[in-house]
Amino acid sequence: MLPTISKALEMKLVELRKTLHRHPELSGKEFQTASRMKKFLWEIPEVQIVENIGGNGMIALFDSGKPGPSIMLRCDMDALPIEETNEFLHKSVNDGVAHKCGHDGHMAIIAGVAAMLGANPIASGKVALLFQPEEENGRGAERVLQHSFFETFSPDLVFALHNLPGFEENTVISREGCFASASRGMIIKLFGSTSHAAHPEQGRSPVNVVSGLLTGLTELPNLHSNFDDYCLVTIIHARIGERAFGTTPDEAVVMATLRSYLDSDMAKLTRNAEQLVQELCRQYKIEFEWEYTEVYPATLNESRANDLIKNAARLAGCEFVEIAEPFKWSEDFGRFTQKYPGAVFGMGVGVEHAGLHHNDYDFNDKIIPSAIAVFLNIIKLVNGFKK
């Protein structure tokens, strides 16, 4: 039998979630968040806590003392630079910062799993619960993986959950293969030389390169037939010269986000984008440099892990939705699935629920018990419980 989540624990977790929501912290600055989580975890019997994992992260480790599979469940800790427009009691007290992706809820769920594992020891192997910082900037998972903890702990399976507006409350959403896309921000800097605006022929303006990039980058996925699956380029920012009507511009910058379902396609798309920059700059005699930011690999759901999620959802009484297409957004959990077999799944928070990163979004606490139940069923199927 699966241990049941008491009403008292549920209320405690909702309170924790609202406290986390009231005190959101940006990526890399999750100091108070970490100490709040540590305080909660310290009350749990039989847990080993490893602090300062990849910055403000921590791991709560449950060891059965018996051989068996090791699994890791991960939640994310950071909030976003978004001004909250909601007026509820747990409204963010930090100006311009708010939990608009529901990471406060993800932490409450994993804290709930920790409380349940403290009261109901696992029968075999180990379960590591990871509280991961810096998800929103794509750096957290990579930093976490550099910690010495992973030199001795090599999970057989890794799992994570993300809440999903647009889906019925408590439905579990997953698919085998790519779940969330690979993406990266490309920053292209262009350097020419100014001239009098009456004599543009005397200068080297980057205008033509910018205009070639705005259309050319966007068209890359259609122009090249060498992609195996979906790709997308979105222009997100461009700037040319200064507001000086007597002078032609010398510098410009173009920023775009590259996306693909497959990491192999991301490599091709990146090469195609770089070639386009080189060709246009050669044509118009413009110097250039590029850099990448917020690089996320694709999150790949391994078939066994996906099956476990499906079975755990059924056992938890949640409807399971196998989506046909991957999500176009990215999740830095892809760093873990690059290294270990595993899967990330979504849990619906309501069809009409405000979208992720919207300024009126708030996590739906009603999914906390079912999300914990799905995770506990995964643990039951993999590690088992002593009683």
Positions in the binding site for Zn ion (CB under 5 A): 101
CB of 55 to Zn ion, least distance (A): 17
Question: Residue 294's closest CA among 345, 346, 256, 239?
Answer: 256
CB of 100 to Zn ion, least distance (A): 7
CB of 304 to Zn ion, least distance (A): 25
Nearer to Zn ion, 101 or 371 (CB): 101
CB of 80 to Zn ion, least distance (A): 6
Nearer to Zn ion, 60 or 101 (CB): 101
Instruction: Say if residue 309 is exposed, middle or buried (CB neighbours under 10 Å; 0-12, 13-18, 19+).
Output: buried
Q: Do 218 and 235 form a contact (C-beta atoms < 8 A)?
A: yes
Nearer to Zn ion, 62 or 179 (CB): 179
Using CA atoms, how far apart are residues 241 and 94, in angstroms rounded to an integer?
A: 36
Question: Residue 333's closest CA among 128, 136, 100?
Answer: 136
CB of 263 to Zn ion, least distance (A): 20
In the numeric block, the tokens 């037939």 are attached to: 225
What one-character-per-residue DSSP string does 268-330 give? HHHHHHHHHHHHHHHHHT-EEEEEEEEEEPPEEE-HHHHHHHHHHHHHTT--EEE-SS-BSS-
CB of 331 to Zn ion, least distance (A): 7
Nearer to Zn ion, 3 or 166 (CB): 166
Nearer to Zn ion, 101 or 262 (CB): 101
C-beta nearest to Zn ion: residue: 101
CB burial of 41-57 (b: ≥16 within 10 Å; e: otherwise) equals: beebeebebbeebbbbb
CB of 103 to Zn ion, least distance (A): 6
Nearer to Zn ion, 11 or 323 (CB): 323
Q: Do 258 and 274 form a contact (C-beta atoms < 8 A)?
A: no
Pairing of strands 299-301, 177-180: antiparallel
Nearer to Zn ion, 184 or 380 (CB): 184
CA distances from 343 to 131, 162, 346 (A): 17, 11, 10
CA distances from 332 to 110, 131, 316 (A): 18, 13, 27
